């Protein structure tokens, strides 16, 4: 069975409006995304950047990471205590990460994050760095080009590769590359996006469920729906989801070091 959806002109205009308003209001997150992923210089990506983006994905899973959050305060520390060089020199990276996170107020899932850091570091050091750099280089080549919807194919393939890392999954596999400034057409979906969609689009009742996002096929279904909506609205997906996320933090502004 195939489900066919059509969008009303008012729904398409709603997408255009939220993006235009955030840009016109000078909201830092949305302007940052426009520069980082679309208009600005092609980012410089090295192993340290790849590792830090991976740590960000682990930390932001299933816990608040907006402006002023405990997660962002940790990510803002300099020197960064979970940098690649720091984790590499630990005799027991898992214990080091667990102790660090346990002593940081407001951070949950410390056991799972610590275990994932050690597992993912082992995977990379045993040869996965080569493949990770390969995907990064391919996306960097594409990032040099003007945006084109056909670029979504490579972006989705790169996200699929990331799904092998511990504690990743559909959302963080896409968040990883987007945070590095390398994707424009994949969606970082969570309950906030679904809440906005339910409030602003005339969708069938029960179509959007928060629990469904844990299912890769459902996640892809919602992504495909939003991709068609953004194409019709002539809005880049990476800018749309930044605008939606920012709409849940209207009372605060993202600091430059809090944007991933």
pLDDT in tens, 13-33: 999 999 999 999 999 999 999
pLDDT, tens digit, for every residue of 140-190? 999 999 999 999 999 999 999 999 999 999 999 999 999 999 999 999 999
In degrees and rounded to multiples of 5, residue 237 shows phi and psi of -55, -40
Name the most confidently modeled range: 2-16, 71-85, 108-122: 108-122
Q: Residue 16: is it exposed, middle or buried by C-beta count within 10 angstroms (0-12/13-18/19+)?
A: middle
Tokens of 79: 């020197």
**DSSP symbol at 127:** I
Confidence (pLDDT) at 260: 47
pLDDT, tens digit, for every residue of 65-90? 666 677 778 888 889 999 999 999 99
């Amino acid at each position: 069975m195939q489900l066919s959806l059509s969008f009303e002109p008012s729904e398409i205009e709603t997408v255009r409006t939220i993006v235009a308003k955030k840009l016109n209001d000078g909201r830092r997150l949305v302007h940052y995304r426009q520069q980082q992923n679309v208009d600005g210089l092609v980012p410089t990506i090295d192993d340290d950047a790849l590792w830090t983006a991976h740590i960000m994905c682990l930390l932001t899973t299933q816990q608040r990471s907006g402006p002023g959050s405990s997660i962002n305060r940790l990510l803002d520390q300099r020197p960064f205590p979970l940098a690649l060089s720091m984790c590499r020199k630990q005799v027991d990276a898992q214990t080091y990460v667990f102790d660090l996170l346990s002593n940081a107020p407001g951070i949950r899932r410390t056991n799972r994050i610590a275990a994932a850091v050690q597992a993912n570091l082992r995977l990379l050091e045993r040869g996965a760095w080569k493949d990770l750099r390969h995907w990064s280089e391919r996306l960097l080549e594409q990032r040099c080009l003007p945006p084109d919807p056909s670029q979504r194919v490579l972006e989705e393939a790169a996200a699929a590769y990331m799904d092998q890392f511990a504690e990743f999954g559909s959302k963080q596999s896409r968040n990883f590359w987007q945070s590095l400034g390398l994707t424009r057409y994949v969606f970082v979906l969570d309950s906030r996006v679904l809440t906005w969609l339910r409030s602003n689009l005339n969708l069938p009742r029960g179509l959007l469920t928060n629990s469904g996002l844990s299912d890769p096929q459902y996640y892809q279904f919602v992504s495909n729906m939003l991709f068609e909506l953004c194409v019709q609205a002539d809005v880049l997906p990476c800018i749309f989801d930044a605008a939606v996320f920012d709409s849940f933090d209207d009372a605060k502004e993202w600091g430059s070091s809090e944007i991933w």
